[in-house]
Amino acid sequence: MPSHVPLVVSHPSSSRSTFRLQLTWFLLLLLSVIALFLVLPAWAGQQVYLVKDINPTTNGSYPADFVVGLSYTFFTANDGAHGEELWRTDGTAAGTVMLKDIGPGDRTGYVEWPTTVSKRLFFVADDGTHGRELWKSDGTPQGTVLVKDILPGSSSPWPRNFVNVNGTLFFAANSQTGKGDELWKSDGTADGTVPIKGLDALSQLTAASGRLYFTADDGSSGVELWASDGTASGTVVVKDIVPGAGSASPTQLTSVNGSLFFVVNDATTGAQLWKSDGTTAGTVQVATFGPTSVNQQISWLTNANSLLYFVADTSSSGREFWKSDGTAAGTVQVADIASGTGSSEPSQLTNVNGTLFFVANDGRTGRELWRSDGTLEGTLRVTDIVSGTGSANISALTATNDGLIFVADDGTTGAELWRSDGTTMGTALMQDLLPGPASSIHPELKFSGQHVFFGATDGTSGFELWALPTLNGSVGEASPPPNTPEATTVPATSTPVTATATPTTSSPIAALSYRVIDAEYSRALDRIVMVAEAPDQLHIYNPATHSTVSVALPRPPLNVSVGPDGRFAAVGHAGLVSYVDLQQGVLVKTLNVTATAADVVLAGNGKVYVSPASDQWVQLRAIDIATNTEVLHTGYSIRAGTVYKLHPDGRSLYGANRGLSPSDIEKIDISVHPPAYLYDSPYHGDYPMCGDLWMAEDGLRIFT
């Protein structure tokens, strides 16, 4: 390859005018398009700052219980003079004020359950006279007042389980000591704060499709699923799942696409996933997971892309990552992250613009950050913050407009603020606020739209209110740690321009005893997969330990492709493809092909695709792994030697045809079998191609 090469950037779904971008060499002075080794700070975006030193003592004010509403972020803090009270902030020191000294003097106001409803903040507080009662605030000191003394005098009715349903606050309280719970609602006035129905064991108040759902016991049906429209007559048991006085005790009520999902645990049949449309007939069991010793087999119910995602425990796969569309057939395991009966224990499922982020342990890298698009191929470990089997103690996963903010400990800087865009390179420490191994931050983050607020200490002030500013809700881009290779790209525009790039390489990370013919990376296993001759072998290299597992191959290898799940690889030979299990380090089978492989692609659909090396115009080979049968693609022929890459959607291949005439980028549809030639680029034959291409992780750009 020459030292200076043109770079072409194509947009696979764009129009003719935006299909390709060639970068000017002037732009290359500003943005590196080939891997560069740069000494960069941990965070190149916005910098965190101390909002206000609320309590100047060394202890700090310990801000907590953040909630967003009324153009402010509300929280509790102790300034050292008034006890723990309700505060608000707009991100400035001047705009950070205590709303009211509810507990007079240094007495704490015991603020709990802060919840925004329309243009009010409701919460529970104790002023020392009325007990713990319902309060509200409009964001001003004079507008922060007691709503109603539900249980007159200094006794407390213990309002709790606040939820906003169509602009009305619903909650549980006990207005008559010793006589059980009551369902209440409030419009923010004393007269509009009224009991709806007396029920016991009120819990799980949840809004779904404009209706209130909860669990309660009416004294005859046990603890079952209830619904309410805000009236006594409209507050009814949805279904007596365990007939009679027995209790189903539904938990984890979660609204998804018009349905309410919940969990029922039965000592005989085990954990059950249910859904309800609010009617008796429409309240049905979706799936059961069988009895085990685990008390709670189903957890972390999360709504994303109109599907339910959750964690479930089975005897065959352990506790793993699942999804459901509300049907038995559509309730499936997404990925067995810790293969076999072991459990990866996914937790903290967080929806970020349709991508699920979570924490899991694959048995090799400890508890680290993962992401998923709901497919096996799209379920990947984002990065290994603490290399090896150590865990990063990740917590407080919080969505922003452009990614994820969270707290992690890399073993060197302590628990600090991190961000991720879902890629390894885009996951980085934002700032070591308290330098050294000590931890600076409390694992509670709140994204307000303009800031991310949190409590932290820099070692100078106590534990105080800090903020990360955003640009219209976007935090920015994380830069990699020092000496980390980074490929920087420029999005395609409608104006093609030209550039040259000078590649640079890093120093070797290990000496190899063989000459590498081709290599790919398995992110799922954190392994470099290489093929070499003399002897003919596939090498599975562990960059953390510098150890290698080698697999003997039947013929000299020509190329290798790691599948989307990172657990299998296909090796191209002359007239043969080897199918290798990377986890076990074994050759599973050999597949026959009527060509010498110029390139091989292992897709996630049970097929291997081989681009022939010889002749001029040829057909792509598609081999079914299970049946070892071959078919040819339909449509226009391709030029022999074309190199292909699998699109992230798993439905198409893109190839760089470097023939003398013409040269172009081609697309093959592999969602059908046999695969079908779709089209070539609108710049057909206009520009030379280097013969290889790279796909952006989001699938929106192709580089060649």
Model confidence pLDDT, tens digit, residues 615-630: 667 888 999 999 999 9
Over residues 208-218, the mean pLDDT reads 95
In sequence order, the 6+-apart residues with CB closer than 8 A to the CB of 26 are 499
pLDDT of residue 14: 40
Percent of the chain whose predicted confidence (pLDDT) is above 70: 83
Over residues 214-228, the mean pLDDT reads 95
pLDDT of residue 413: 92
Distance CA 109, CA 127 (A): 6
The string over 66-99, giving b where at least 16 C-beta atoms fall within 10 Å of a residue's C-beta and e elsewhere, is bbbbbebbbbbbbbeebbbbbbbbbbeeeebbbb
Instruction: Name the average pLDDT for the chain.
Output: 84
Least confident of 125-129, 477-481, 556-560: 477-481
Structural domains of the chain, with CATH: 110-248 (2.130.10.120), 516-703 (2.130.10.10)
Distance CA 363, CA 368 (A): 11
Over residues 651-666, the mean pLDDT reads 69
Q: Does residue 267 carry a pLDDT above 60?
A: yes
CA distances from 322 to 338, 359, 699 (A): 13, 14, 25
DSSP per-residue letters across 150-216: SS-SS-----EEEEEETTEEEEEE-SSTTS--EEEEESSSSTT-EEEEE-EEEEEEEEETTEEEEEE
pLDDT of residue 98: 96
Instruction: Identify each DSSP E strand in 496-585 by its residue range.
Output: 516-522, 527-532, 537-542, 547-552, 559-562, 568-572, 574-581
Q: Greater confidence, 208 or 27?
A: 208
The string over 294-303, giving b where at least 16 C-beta atoms fall within 10 Å of a residue's C-beta and e elsewhere, is beebbbbbbb
Q: Greater confidence, 654 or 440?
A: 440
Over residues 169-184, the mean pLDDT reads 86
Least confident of 201-205, 450-454, 646-650: 646-650
DSSP per-residue letters across 23-86: --HHHHHHS--S-EEE---SB-SPPPEEEE-SS-SSSB---EEEEEETTEEEEEEE-SSS-EEE
251 — pLDDT class (breaks 50, 70, 90):
very high
- Count of all residues that appear for the chain in the document: 704
Q: Greater confidence, 315 or 162?
A: 162
Structure token pair of residue 99: 């709303």
Q: Does residue 179 carry a pLDDT above 80?
A: no
Structure token pair of residue 360: 């899991």
Phi-psi region of 326 (alpha: psi -120 to 50; beta: other; left: phi over 0): left
Least confident of 37-46, 166-175, 305-314, 508-517: 37-46
Q: Greater confidence, 484 or 619?
A: 619
Over residues 66-75, the mean pLDDT reads 94
Residue 598 · residue 640 · CB < 8 Å: yes
Residue 689 · residue 8 · CB < 8 Å: yes
2 — pLDDT class (breaks 50, 70, 90):
very low
Q: Does residue 610 carry a pLDDT above 60?
A: yes
pLDDT of residue 11: 44
Distance CA 665, CA 667 (A): 7
pLDDT of residue 615: 65
In sequence order, the 6+-apart residues with CB closer than 8 A to the CB of 360 are 321, 337, 338, 344, 345, 346, 347, 367, 368, 370, 381
Q: Does residue 252 carry a pLDDT above 60?
A: yes
Percent of the chain whose predicted confidence (pLDDT) is above 90: 58
> 117 in helix, strand or coil?
strand
Q: What is the dihedral of CA 30, 31, 35, 36, to 10 degrees?
A: 30
DSSP 263: E
pLDDT digits (tens, 9 = 90+) for 127-165: 999 999 999 999 999 999 999 999 998 889 999 999 999
CB atoms inside a 10 Å sphere around CB 28: 18
Burial of 558 (0-12, 13-18, 19+ CB in 10 A): buried
Q: Does residue 346 carry a pLDDT above 60?
A: yes
Q: Does residue 57 carry a pLDDT above 90?
A: no
CA 262 to chain CA centroid, Å, is 22
Q: Please give the single-letter amino acid code of residue 656.
A: A
Q: Does residue 91 carry a pLDDT above 90?
A: yes
pLDDT of residue 686: 43
Least confident of 209-218, 365-374, 450-459, 538-547: 538-547
Over residues 196-223, the mean pLDDT reads 94
358 — pLDDT class (breaks 50, 70, 90):
very high
33 — pLDDT class (breaks 50, 70, 90):
very low
Distance CA 619, CA 634 (A): 8
Distance CA 114, CA 99 (A): 13
In sequence order, the 6+-apart residues with CB closer than 8 A to the CB of 702 are 9, 10, 11, 12, 645, 654, 665, 693, 694, 695, 696
CB atoms inside a 10 Å sphere around CB 387: 16
Q: Does residue 20 carry a pLDDT above 50?
A: no
Distance CA 220, CA 226 (A): 13
pLDDT of residue 41: 35
Q: Greater confidence, 662 or 126?
A: 126
Instruction: Note the helical H segments in 480-633.
Output: none
Over residues 641-650, the mean pLDDT reads 84
Over residues 443-462, the mean pLDDT reads 93
DSSP per-residue letters across 349-369: EEEETTEEEEEEE-SSS-EEE
pLDDT of residue 515: 87
Q: Does residue 494 carry a pLDDT above 80?
A: no
Residue 681 · residue 20 · CB < 8 Å: yes
Over residues 339-347, the mean pLDDT reads 90
Q: Does residue 70 carry a pLDDT above 80?
A: yes
pLDDT of residue 704: 64
pLDDT of residue 653: 86
Over residues 72-76, the mean pLDDT reads 96
pLDDT of residue 19: 31
Over residues 515-532, the mean pLDDT reads 92
pLDDT of residue 685: 42
pLDDT of residue 509: 58
